[in-house]
Amino acid sequence: MMIYYAHHIWKYGTKIEDFELFVINKHFHDSYIHNPAVFVNPNESEESIMRDCFSKIDASDALVFSDLSGVAGKGVISEIEYAQSLGLRVYRIVANRLVEITEKIRYNLLNTGCNRIYAEIVA
């Protein structure tokens, strides 16, 4: 089984990322995880990065995402919406387990006053 792991760039290469990968592996034994921290080139344009991410989602059976206290970046939200448009199963990391999101993702855009777009996940 192929799993796409959508998470914020701040988590790349951290102990939080290691823990979340552990949680995913615990739920999906013997699966391959597409981790953008491994294949994303941060020097590329956001459009190019998302194209690479979407191609990995195309090759996945499910998407698992994490947030930061209920907030996710535009990229993670776009990845979730794309996976849902393909009919993939989507899971959210909550504490030390995965919770399946069975409805279309709902979120409120946040005005952060910076050039990044963030959203508070409602469900």
Strand order in the sheet with 71-73: 71-73, 118-121, 107-110
Regions of the chain where pLDDT drops below 70: 111-117, 123
pLDDT confidence of residue 118:
75
pLDDT confidence of residue 123:
61
Rg of the chain over Cα atoms, rounded to whole angstroms, equals 13
- Per the listing, tokens 């699966």 go with 31
pLDDT tens column, 94-109? 999 999 999 998 888 7
The full DSSP string for the chain is -EEEEE--GGGTTSHHHHHHHHHHHHHSTT-EEE-HHHH--TTS-HHHHHHHHHHHHHT-SEEEE--BTTEEEHHHHHHHHHHHHTT-EEEEEETTEEEEE-S---EEEE--SSSS-EEEE--
pLDDT tens column, 22-35? 999 999 999 999 99
| Tokens linked to 92 | 């959210």
